Amino acid sequence: MANSFTRRDFLSGSLGVGAAGALQAALGPVRPPARSGSGTRTPTIATAEAASSSSRSKKVERTLVLCTLYGGNDGLNTVIPYESSAYHALRGDIAIPHDQAQPLGKAGDVALGLHPALVGLKSLWDAGQVAIILGIGYPNPSFSHFESMEIMQSADPSGDSSSGWVGRWLDVSGSDPTRALSVGPNIPVVFTGTRQQASTLADSTTPGSQTPGGDPNFLSAYSELEHTYPHEPALEAAVAQAGSDLLRVGAKAASALTSQKPPDPISPSSAGDVGTQLDVVAELIKAGMPTKAYGVMLSSFDTHTDQLDTQAGLLSQLDAGVENFMGDFPSGSGGLSPVIVLYSEFGRRAQSNASGGTDHGSASNVIVVGPSVKGGFYGELPSLTKLDDTSNFRHTTDFRRVYATLLAGIMGVDPKSFLGAPFAPMTFLP
């Protein structure tokens, strides 16, 4: 079909909003789109502080970059027991052939390999920057995308909690709306607390354009409009809160980014839309934003049919995005150390179906990438033959141990109060 590139970008919203020009003309100067990997910059106050604290304590400044893979990524065809005859029996014609998997070494006595599309991730693995946590899950798995994603994001296997594990940290860690930034128009559960929530950045606009600045009179009236008043009805107050947060986020992002050298002329991102999202995040981290958690996403992993092509396409987009992003943060680069976490609502059914795909499943792996990550396998691969009574893999490591590690290693807090119970941190973030 014609124009597939245009269509894909259009659908994902990664092209600029046609309207943005008019808005900016009215509200402020048009900033050239930010892009990663550009030139040197003057350190901002925040990064200067980060740098000095890192030299004092010899500790890196970690930032969480939570990458949600919506639809249920097939973990078994991502980290593949390619030599196992049980694997080939389960997956038949959609098994990744033995000679295509990229060998990673053994976990226990099982040889595991990465999906052939994940070439960038393989080189990061070779550099010791990729932790693969096997057999992640929770008891009584839900096979609903929405329920399972809510469980994964809330860290509550009962499914009753409506707040997310990062959101609960937002509730008690101050009021700066830039502590967590999620790319995209809507806020996922993970970034929603009971009192506070993350701010969002549209991936279709550059961070600098988030400021509705420019005409000072308009801005001053807008700031008045977005002030909540006592006893304001809750929904109206929520609108006003979002507007006033926009002003604060915009001001912070703009001041962080204006301290940079003007970006080079734009070159199209090879990484597709998750790559564009990661570009925005990289730019903000490098500009010294005080943000502790970012959210990006990639969807369409629900491969009931035609899994080989679909998953390869998605993983290759993801791989390019992650590799390009990590290129901006070589280990020891000014103490800035983003930690990308790749996770999905569930893995897929052990045995493939007759449509060249897989149905909803349970336990899967979580992949953690970054210069300060201790690479290797963690946890234990679920048995490929001893399935549960729904013909799914049995999880071997509780998902909350991953969050405990991230909360302790990135936010620097005691994870217990955010997870409802103590879960032993793992060792991938030393």
Partner 1 sequence: MTTSSNSTTLAHLYRRAGFGATPAELEAAGKLGFGASVDKLLAGLAEADSAGSALELPHLTPLAQANIPGFSYDDYTEFIALSTWWIDRMIVTDTPLREKLVLLLHEQFPTSYQKVGYSELMYRQNDLFRTLGPGSFDTLTQAVAKDPAMLIWLDTGTDHKAHPNENFARELMERFTMGVGNYTEQDVRHAARAFTGWTLDYTTGDFFFNLYDHDGGEKRFLGKAGRWQGQDIIDMVTQTTASSKWVVARFWSWLAYPVTTEDPVVADLTPGYKTDLNLTNLLGAILHHPSFASTRAMRGLVKQPIEYLVGTLRLLGLRTAAFSEGTLVYLLASLGQQPFVPLNVGGWGQNQYWLSTSASNNQLSLAWNVAQYADLTEILDLNGSPGAQVDAVKKLLAIDAWSDRTYRALWKTADKGSAQELLVMALVSPEYLIN
CB atoms within 10 A of CB 320: 20
Our finding on whether 77 is near partner 1 (CB under 8 A) is no
* Residue position matching structure tokens 């798995």: 141
| Residue 430: CB minimum distance to partner 1, A | 35
Stretch that binds partner 1, among 21-29, 333-341, 393-401, 419-427 (CB under 8 A): 21-29
How many chain residues are in contact with partner 1, going by CB under 8 A? 84
| Residue 429: CB minimum distance to partner 1, A | 29
| Residue 205: CB minimum distance to partner 1, A | 7
Stretch that binds partner 1, among 163-171, 245-253, 362-370, 407-415 (CB under 8 A): 245-253
Stretch that binds partner 1, among 9-17, 128-136, 256-264, 367-375 (CB under 8 A): 9-17
Our finding on whether 22 is near partner 1 (CB under 8 A) is yes
Stretch that binds partner 1, among 105-113, 235-243, 315-323, 326-334 (CB under 8 A): 235-243
| Residue 195: CB minimum distance to partner 1, A | 13
Stretch that binds partner 1, among 13-21, 165-173, 270-278, 404-412 (CB under 8 A): 13-21
Q: Which is nearer to partner 1, 207 or 275 (CB)?
A: 207
Among candidates 327, 311, 278, which has minimal Cα distance to 115?
311
Q: Which is nearer to partner 1, 230 or 430 (CB)?
A: 230
Our finding on whether 27 is near partner 1 (CB under 8 A) is yes
- Which 8-state DSSP code applies to residue 192? B
Identify residues 303-322 at the interface with partner 1 (CB under 8 A).
304-306
Contacts with partner 1, 341-360, as mask; x by CB under 8 A:
----------xxxxxxx-xx
Our finding on whether 186 is near partner 1 (CB under 8 A) is yes
Among candidates 314, 345, 299, which has minimal Cα distance to 145?
345
Our finding on whether 177 is near partner 1 (CB under 8 A) is yes
Q: Which is nearer to partner 1, 168 or 401 (CB)?
A: 168
Stretch that binds partner 1, among 42-50, 60-68, 186-194, 417-425 (CB under 8 A): 186-194
Q: Which residues pair with 377 in a beta bridge?
A: 132
Contact between 200 and 184 under an 8 Å Cβ cutoff? The reply is: yes
**Residue-level length of the chain:** 430
Among candidates 289, 287, 332, 280, which has minimal Cα distance to 43?
287
3-class secondary structure, 304: coil
Distances from the Cα of 77 to the Cα of 131, 315, 349, angstroms: 17, 11, 11
| Residue 164: CB minimum distance to partner 1, A | 13
| Type of residue at 92 | G
Cα separation, 138 vs 363, in Å, equals 8
Q: What angle do CA 220, 224, 227 make, to 5 degrees?
A: 140
| Residue 15: CB minimum distance to partner 1, A | 7
Q: Which is nearer to partner 1, 57 or 186 (CB)?
A: 186
Our finding on whether 390 is near partner 1 (CB under 8 A) is yes
| Residue 390: CB minimum distance to partner 1, A | 5
At a CB cut-off of 8 Å and minimum separation 6, what does 416 contact?
Answer: 422, 423
| Type of residue at 414 | D
Structure tokens that stand for 187 in this block:
């806020």
List 17, 48, 421, 424, residue binding partner 1 (CB under 8 A): 17
| Type of residue at 143 | F
What sign results for the dihedral spanned by CA atoms 198, 203, 207, 209? Answer: negative
Identify residues 246-265 at the interface with partner 1 (CB under 8 A).
246, 249-250
CB atoms within 10 A of CB 385: 10
Identify residues 359-378 at the interface with partner 1 (CB under 8 A).
359-360
Stretch that binds partner 1, among 37-45, 79-87, 192-200, 330-338 (CB under 8 A): 192-200
Stretch that binds partner 1, among 118-126, 166-174, 299-307, 316-324 (CB under 8 A): 299-307
Contact between 50 and 348 under an 8 Å Cβ cutoff? The reply is: no
Cα separation, 303 vs 250, in Å, equals 38
Our finding on whether 218 is near partner 1 (CB under 8 A) is yes
Cα separation, 407 vs 428, in Å, equals 12
Identify residues 102-161 at the interface with partner 1 (CB under 8 A).
142-147
Phi, psi of 345, rounded to the nearest 5 degrees = -70, -30
| Residue 86: CB minimum distance to partner 1, A | 17
* Residue position matching structure tokens 């549209």: 202
CB atoms within 10 A of CB 396: 16
